[in-house]
Amino acid sequence: MPTLLAASLLLYAFGGFGALVLRRAETAAISVGGLTAALAGALGVLAVWPVLLSGQTLLYSTPSLLPFGAFSVRIDALSAVMVIVISLVAAAAGLFSLSYLKGSIGIGGGAIAFFTNLFVASMVLVVIVDNAFFFVLAWELMTITSYFLVISELEEEAVHAGFLYFFIAHGFSMLIMIAFFLLTVQTGSLDFATYRAANPPAWLASIVFLLALFGFGAKAGMIPIHSWLPRAHPAAPSHASALMSGVMVKLGIYGIIRVGVDFLGAELAWWGWTLLVFGAVSAVLGSFYTLAERDIKRLLAYSTVENVGVILMATGIAMVGLATGQRLVAFVGFLAALYHILNHAMFKGLLFLGAGALLKGLSTRDMTLMGGLGKRMPRTAFLFLVGALCIAAIPPLNGFVSEWFAYQSFFITGYGPGFAGRLLGPLAAMALAITGAVTLSCFVATWGAIFGGEARSGRAKAARETPASMLIGMGVLALFCVGFGLGSPLVVRALGPAVAALSNSASLATADGLYVFPANPRFALVSPPLIAMLMLGLLALPVIVVGVFGADRSRHIVRRGAEAWDCGYQHTGQMAVSPTGGMEPLRFFFEGLYALHRFTVLFHRVAAAGLAGLTRFAARIEPLWDRLTVTLTVDAASGVGGRFQALEMGNLRVYTFYIFLALVVVLLAVAW
């Protein structure tokens, strides 16, 4: 329903500009922005729903006056999935922002609402346009709006993060443009339709794929080009962080799939393997890097890196399946990837909104200053717990189902004929298992540090429950989290057409009644709804035992409010595992992973020359690439920035616009 979608887009735009117009009356601006986003999100879902179910592709194009082709819109199943992802999170974030942005009144709450809406709209555009030029245009719009969101708090750190983000985003979008340029050179057109039809030689296809992999991978936060992400995402207002981390990174994956699978047909198996390896590295390292964080939003950002890794792994194995003609592998792999894209958006959105609620309530992102909030913010705690359980892939919630499919895709590869598959499939499963366990550790420690134990600061002691509208925003996502888990048979059916389209095969049965299975129930099957039901049923056993042997209700004394037992000494808030301290053993055990630095440092000795010494450097917990890119960028930036010093912030914004224009010009020239 392009009309509905257009309405949705217009609503975003209306809301955005409305907020801009009303920026003097910030409360109204925030309300307009938030409500329109929520409504537009709902419209967006409605718009693409039929596409998703039917699997048809909708095309719409206007003749363009510009020389680089028509402004064409194409909504296929993949786009539909992406639009749903964007819309759901946008709607929830919109609701959330109604109260959340009240904290930003006076520092441009209206502007934030404007940029948020524009940002969402640009993301929708990215996934539906079918022309390289407009794609880049939307892509740049997305980057710039999100850049403004990153720096909206105008704190030094945020500005710095924004700067880094800005440079890296543009640096890597150059790669995307070059990829498109190469394809355009082949086809003579900027239309994606011609890209699909093109049949570039293998070497060229490989180059294009690699360019796309890194160009889009940077946006996705793929290790080793993730370093901007844990800085930029947390700096943005939390609802925007939710959008960036929950949605925008997926557009990177979308890009990879669009180019690698849709345009290039996933011709070569090593593309898939490469993706798998990058995915595995991102997943494992991303999960480990969460362990060192005490800033809740940075932790979530690293966790995004990890989840992107999981999605890339599934995508990679699917591409291998495509390339090697293993339909089943491709099918299950894409199913897992798309499912996880959907799920991750839900729970990461939920968690970022939760982090926003905490930030709003406590004015800090430092988890060491939290603690004891489970009693003070029980609803927030509960919703955050749902998110944590989902991200830890606990059955029968949604994270479990998509990871289960990912496991199945690896196992099926492992049963398959090729040696590479038999070797790498199970190893990928192992990587996923490590990731899962680390994620669990991390989120246990995180939830515990935030909500468990005793309040460790005055602001934690004074914390109050989150306002309702924020809880509603979180609650919506939490509902989807649970729903996508318990309703997994429906979800896999709904994703069927999109998966079938990507894997270039007929839609395979992946659900029957209450069960889901990887196309063949003999391989494996699982039923989240039945698991949930039996869990409730089995609860009877302990309840019966308690009923029989427990003291009867009237005599069973429960005394609450006791001081925690700390060997008889006065309990203090310090006597609790700190968020990072609890994970120290893991960091100790897997020091090797952090020592990845050591090797890369050798390669980049020049860049690292300013650092005090190799060993000290290697001992740092921060991932090397952070260091590396930061150093590089900061060096570059300070060179450039030196000249900026006289300029004001506004001038910098103008300057960024110049850069954007310059890029467009480059593309224009190319098209010519």
Partner 1 sequence: MKPPDTILGTNLVPAPGAVFSEAEEIAKLKDSLMKRIRRSAYVFRVDCGGCNGCEIEIFAAFSPIFDAERFGIKLVSSPRHADILLYTGSMTRSMRLPAIRSYHAAPDPKIVIGYGACGCTGGIFHDLYCVWGGAESVVPVDVYIPGCPPTPAATIYGFALALGLLEQKLKARHHKEGENEVVIPIRPLIPLRLRVALEREARRMSGYRQGRIVVDRFMSILGHEGANAPFAERMKAYLDEEGDPRLTEIFERLNDIVEGRPSGWTGQSSASSSTS
Partner 2 sequence: MEAASSILLGVAQAALLFFAAPLVTGMARVIRAKFHNRRGPPLLQDYRDLVKLMARAEVIPGEASAVFRVTPYVFLVAMLLVAASIPGLVTGSPFGPAGDLIAVLYLFALARFFFALSGIDAGSIYGGLGASRETTLAVTNEPVMVLALFVVAARAGSTNLGAMSARVFAGPDPAVAATLAAMFAFAFAIFVEMGKVPLDFAEAETEVQEGPLIEYSGRSLALLKWGLHLKQVVAVALFLGIFFPLGASFSLAPVPLAFAAAVLLVKLIVVFLALAFVENTMARVRFMSSPRVTFVGLAAALLAFAFSLAGV
Partner 3 sequence: MNDHVTIRRGQSHLDAIRLQYGAAIEDAEWQTENQVTVTVALASLPEVVETLYYGREGWLATIVANDERQLNGHYALYYILSMEGADRCFFVVRALVPAHKPEFPSVTPRVPAVVWGEREVRDMFGLEPVGLPDQRRLVLPDDWPDDLYPLRKGAMDYRTRPMPAAPAETYTFINEKTKTSTEVPLGPLHITSDEPAHFRLFVDGERIIDADYRLFYVHRGMEKLAETRMSYNEVNFLTDRICGICGFTHSFAYSSAVERALGIDVPERAQFIRSVAGEVERLHSNLLNVGLACHFIGFDSGFMQVFRVREKAMTIAEVLTGARKTYALTLVGGVRRDIHKAERLRILELVAELRRDVADILDILMSTANLEARTRGVGRLDPKIARDFSPSGAVVRGSGFARDTRTMHPYGAYANAPVVVHTEQGCDVLSRVLVRVEDVQNSLDIIEYLIDKMPEGPVLVEGFSYIPQRFAIGNTEAPRGDDIHWVMLGDNQKLYRWRCRAPTYANWPVLRYMFRDNSVADAPLIVASIDPCYSCCDRMTVVDVRKETTTVVPMKELERWGRERKDSPLA
Applying CB under 8 A, which residues contact partner 3? 368, 566-570, 572, 574-578, 580-585, 587-588
Residue 378 contact, options partner 3, partner 1, partner 2, none, Cβ 5-8 Å cut-off depending on partner type: partner 2
CB 378 → partner 1: shortest distance, Å? 23
CB 567 → partner 1: shortest distance, Å? 8
CB 564 → partner 1: shortest distance, Å? 9
Contact 313, 424 (CB under 8 A): no
| Cα gap 110→393, rounded to integer Å | 37
CB 483 → partner 2: shortest distance, Å? 18
Contact 89, 477 (CB under 8 A): yes
Complex with partner 1: residue 203 or 569, whichever CB lies closer? 569
Distance from chain centroid for Cα 469: 23
Residue 429: helix, strand or coil by DSSP? helix
The DSSP code sequence of 180-241 is: HHHHHHHHS--BHHHHHH----HHHHHHHHHHHHHHHHHHHT-TTS-TTHHHHHHHS-HHHH
Contact 340, 314 (CB under 8 A): yes
Complex with partner 1: residue 568 or 639, whichever CB lies closer? 568
Residue 509 contact, options partner 2, partner 3, partner 1, none, Cβ 5-8 Å cut-off depending on partner type: none
CB 576 → partner 3: shortest distance, Å? 7
Complex with partner 1: residue 572 or 651, whichever CB lies closer? 572
CB 550 → partner 1: shortest distance, Å? 12
Complex with partner 2: residue 178 or 444, whichever CB lies closer? 444
**Where along the sequence are the contacts to partner 1 (CB under 8 A)?**
555, 557, 559, 562-563, 565, 567-570
Residue 309 contact, options partner 1, partner 2, partner 3, none, Cβ 5-8 Å cut-off depending on partner type: none
Residue 662 contact, options partner 3, partner 2, partner 1, none, Cβ 5-8 Å cut-off depending on partner type: none
Residue 534 contact, options partner 3, partner 1, partner 2, none, Cβ 5-8 Å cut-off depending on partner type: partner 2
Contact 637, 231 (CB under 8 A): no
Residue 515 β-bridge partners: 512
Residue 468 contact, options partner 1, partner 3, partner 2, none, Cβ 5-8 Å cut-off depending on partner type: none
Sign of CA dihedral 26, 30, 36, 40: positive
Complex with partner 2: residue 103 or 573, whichever CB lies closer? 573
458 C-beta neighbours (distance < 10 Å), count: 10
Residue 656 contact, options partner 3, partner 2, partner 1, none, Cβ 5-8 Å cut-off depending on partner type: none
Residue 368 contact, options partner 3, partner 1, partner 2, none, Cβ 5-8 Å cut-off depending on partner type: partner 3
Complex with partner 2: residue 557 or 609, whichever CB lies closer? 557
Complex with partner 1: residue 563 or 648, whichever CB lies closer? 563
154 Rama class: left (phi>0) / alpha (psi -120 to 50) / beta = left
Complex with partner 3: residue 575 or 618, whichever CB lies closer? 575
What count of residues does the chain have? 672
Return the structure tokens found at 34. Answer: 């938030």
Residue 304 β-bridge partners: none
Q: Which residues contact 34 (CB under 8 A, 6 or more apart)?
A: 94, 95, 96, 97, 98, 101, 113
CB 586 → partner 3: shortest distance, Å? 8
The DSSP code sequence of 443-468 is: HHHHHHHHHSS---SHHHHT--PPPH
Return the structure tokens found at 594. Answer: 């952090």
CB 546 → partner 1: shortest distance, Å? 15
Contact 507, 499 (CB under 8 A): yes
Residue 296 contact, options partner 2, partner 3, partner 1, none, Cβ 5-8 Å cut-off depending on partner type: none
Complex with partner 1: residue 65 or 562, whichever CB lies closer? 562
Complex with partner 2: residue 557 or 646, whichever CB lies closer? 557
Residue 524 contact, options partner 3, partner 1, partner 2, none, Cβ 5-8 Å cut-off depending on partner type: partner 2
- Alpha-carbon torsion angle 246, 250, 251, 254, nearest 10: -160
Contact 306, 347 (CB under 8 A): no
CB 535 → partner 3: shortest distance, Å? 33
CB 457 → partner 3: shortest distance, Å? 12
